[in-house]
Amino acid sequence: MTVAATERRAALSDRTIRLVYTTILLVGISYGLAISLIGVYLEGRGFSESQIGDLAIFFAGGIVSFAIPAGWAIRRFGAKATLMVGLVGYSAAVGLFPFAGPYSLIATLRFFDGAFSVAVWVASETLLLSRAPRDDKAFFMSLYAIALAVGYVVGPIAARGVVAVASKDVSFFAAGALALTTAAAVASRMQTGGAGHELHATDGGASEAPLTAGQVFWRIKTSCLATFSYGYFQASVVLFLPLYLLGQGLDEGQTILIPAFFAGGMLLVANFAARWGDRFGHLLVMRTLGVVGTLTIISFLFVKSPWLVYLTGFIAGGSLASLSPVSLALLGIAVPDKSLSQAGGLYNAAYAMGMLIGPPIAGRLFKGVSGHAMIAHFAVLWAGFVVLTIVFRRDDPRLRRA
């Protein structure tokens, strides 16, 4: 057995790493229990489609506002404490949702939903990146992404079961209770030290001078660009791609299936993409995925058959959604461990900024120009990402070492 394989097996047996995977799986189920019902729940209470859609802005605003402070909290109080606070806060935000009367209170809860969620993400990613072997970081982050995706699949199925035997309110309560139970498990089972002690110095990180926020961002700029582009694309296509495809001759039932194929592509490809990134270079694999994704988006302009649309969605998920673990792995080797929480905050802030900016621009193009123009601008977005990965190709430490 090689040294790398031995290190991977040792890390996979690490209780903290296993607990992070379990935590993010249960959080994903909790998200699915709630998110799958928010639209119909609020519509049943008389809110308009535009009001329901605008809640995504408040959610993303919470992520943007608290992503960087979450990194500071990890450095000050530790990843375990930040993770617990994030879980408890999210539990309160989702559990109180059925009691929110006016729209302003609903929007406030969605804001704090995003704020506490990003604390969970940054803390979990910091723990994993600090403990994963240097040459296997993408592999470990792919398992993280897969665990979250599986949770998103299981959550809506569970929500249907809860609604069948109880009510929509109970589904939100169940989501909150699950997050609270997860927080208790973290508190009792996660074995880490105090503030900052759960990070293990690697690659000489402990001896480096502290990095400023600007220096951290410059080292991880291609990772931030990848997650910004994905946030922009993901938040926009969820809203507008079904409407575009309805105009191309598909019916509503056919468009509903597209997210399942998108998620299926990600689940199938993400781990392979991560292994390729660890072996051949993360930025090279990110660029390749970006090229495939760009060509796939362009093909949406021409495909008409439902099964060709499903195949296109599958490839789009396998390429663009698989960028996340690889870009996180690049982040994990680009900065010393003591800067991981700061880098994670910037990374998640970039993701949320894409979520905030994307839908308004895409919506105006769709309404004011055409659906084809909207699809074309997604292709331009990803083509720009590919070009910048070439310009900044030396951001990958593997290339610099070579």
Q: What tokens does 381 get?
A: 């977005």
Backbone angles phi, psi at 276, to 5 degrees: -65, -40
> For position 38, what pLDDT does the model report?
82
Q: What does the DSSP assignment read for 183-242?
A: HHHHHHH----STTTTPPP-TTGGGSPPPPHHHHHHHTHHHHHHHHHHHHHHHHHHHHHH
pTM: 0.84
Instruction: Measure the CA–CA gap between 311 and 279, rounded to whole angstroms.
Output: 28
Eight-state DSSP code of residue 102? S
> For position 208, what pLDDT does the model report?
56
In which residue are the tokens 């997604």 written? 378
Residue 1 in this model has a pLDDT that exceeds 60: no
Mean pLDDT confidence for 149-160: 85
> For position 267, what pLDDT does the model report?
86
> For position 204, what pLDDT does the model report?
39
CB of 220 closer than 8 Å to CB of 108: no
> For position 200, what pLDDT does the model report?
40
In which residue are the tokens 């799986």 written? 25
> For position 5, what pLDDT does the model report?
64
**Neighbour-count burial of 357, counting CB atoms closer than 10 A to its CB (0-12 exposed, 13-18 middle, 19+ buried):** middle
CB of 245 closer than 8 Å to CB of 309: yes
Residue 384 in this model has a pLDDT that exceeds 90: yes
Nearest to 311 by CA among 265, 352, 368: 265
> For position 210, what pLDDT does the model report?
74
> For position 385, what pLDDT does the model report?
96
pLDDT tens figures, 2-48: 656 676 676 777 889 999 999 999 999 999 888 878 877 887 888 87
Count of positions (residues) in the chain? 402
Instruction: Measure the CA–CA gap between 9 and 1, rounded to whole angstroms.
Output: 10
> For position 35, what pLDDT does the model report?
82
Instruction: Measure the CA–CA gap between 339 and 384, rounded to whole angstroms.
Output: 28
CB of 179 closer than 8 Å to CB of 312: no
Which of 156-165, 349-358, 381-390 has the lowest average pLDDT?
156-165
Nearest to 28 by CA among 16, 36, 38: 36
Mean pLDDT confidence for 229-234: 92
